[in-house]
């Protein structure tokens, strides 16, 4: 993913491209390099901003983000609490779906991660919809009447009681964890704290190598990334 700037040149092993030859043209335009190789200028998609972000932590992959967005029920205008921010890959996607009048409050205890996340969010033009908070979410959540709480941290079960208090009735909690031990503790704690409709899934995505007469699954794939647990807040008896 390259930023086009006047007077600059993009060098590749297939020749160089002068950005001045691109400026003023629409996305999808084709251009020849100095070696006569054809390039196409494509507008970055949300997945490009995620997969090509500056990384200091492992990121959440698009296959998992898609399920998180769908099962959480978020959309334009939603108020979301997220923890931990990491370098902001999932944060970027969530902000994209709550804009233009929603808000994402993202908790992270590592200040250096927040600086990288801010950089990635600004690059994707999503920073205006996010409040980054250098706080420990296991101690508490500042917000109330929240539509969704989305967790990607080592001890999500410690956040479950705080999430229950912060969520509006029927609000959703989503937790992404790489190990089975983590999801067992999380599900047990969800049941103990008034959550219902609890479900845990794993999403595997395998690419295909498509060529006439040779089409088959790709040899390599990103298999296990993590387990995703979803649940909804039920009003406790007597509340």
Contact (CB, 8 A) for 174 and 68: yes
Q: What is the DSSP letter of 56?
A: S
Domains of the chain: 9-40 (no CATH), 46-233 (3.40.50.150)
pTM of the model: 0.88
Contact (CB, 8 A) for 112 and 174: no
How many C-alpha atoms does 221 have within 13 Å on its Cβ side? 15
How many C-alpha atoms does 117 have within 13 Å on its Cβ side? 32
Contact (CB, 8 A) for 61 and 225: yes
Contact (CB, 8 A) for 216 and 180: no
CA–CA gap between residue 34 and residue 104 (Å, rounded)? 45
User: Over its length of 239 residues, how does the chain's per-residue pLDDT go in tens digits?
Assistant: 888 999 999 999 999 999 999 999 999 999 999 999 999 999 999 888 888 877 667 788 899 999 999 999 999 999 999 999 999 999 999 999 999 999 999 999 999 999 999 999 999 999 999 999 999 999 999 999 999 999 999 999 999 999 999 999 999 999 999 999 999 999 999 999 999 999 999 999 999 999 999 999 999 888 899 999 999 999 987 65
CA–CA gap between residue 8 and residue 65 (Å, rounded)? 35
Contact (CB, 8 A) for 32 and 22: no
């Amino acid at each position: 993913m390259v930023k086009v700037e006047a007077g600059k040149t993009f060098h590749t092993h297939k020749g160089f491209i002068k950005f001045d030859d691109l400026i003023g043209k629409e996305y999808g335009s084709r251009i020849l390099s100095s070696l006569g190789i054809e390039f196409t200028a494509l507008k970055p998609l949300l997945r490009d901003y995620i997969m090509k972000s500056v990384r200091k932590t492992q990121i959440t992959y698009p296959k998992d983000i898609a399920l998180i967005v769908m099962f959480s029920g978020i959309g334009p205008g939603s108020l979301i609490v997220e923890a931990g921010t990491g370098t902001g890959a999932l944060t970027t996607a969530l902000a994209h779906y709550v804009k233009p009048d929603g808000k994402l409050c993202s908790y992270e205890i590592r200040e250096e991660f927040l600086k990288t996340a801010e950089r990635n969010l600004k690059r994707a033009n999503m920073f205006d919809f996010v409040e980054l908070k250098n706080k420990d979410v296991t101690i508490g959540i500042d917000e109330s009447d929240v539509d969704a709480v989305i967790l990607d941290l080592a001890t999500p079960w410690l956040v479950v009681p705080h999430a229950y208090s912060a969520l509006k009735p029927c609000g959703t909690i989503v937790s992404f964890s790489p190990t089975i031990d983590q999801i067992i503790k999380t599900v047990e704690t969800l049941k103990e704290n008034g959550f219902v409709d609890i479900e845990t899934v794993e999403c595997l995505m395998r690419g295909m190598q498509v060529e006439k007469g040779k089409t088959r699954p790709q040899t390599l794939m990103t298999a296990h990334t993590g387990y995703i647990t979803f649940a909804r807040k039920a009003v406790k008896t007597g509340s």
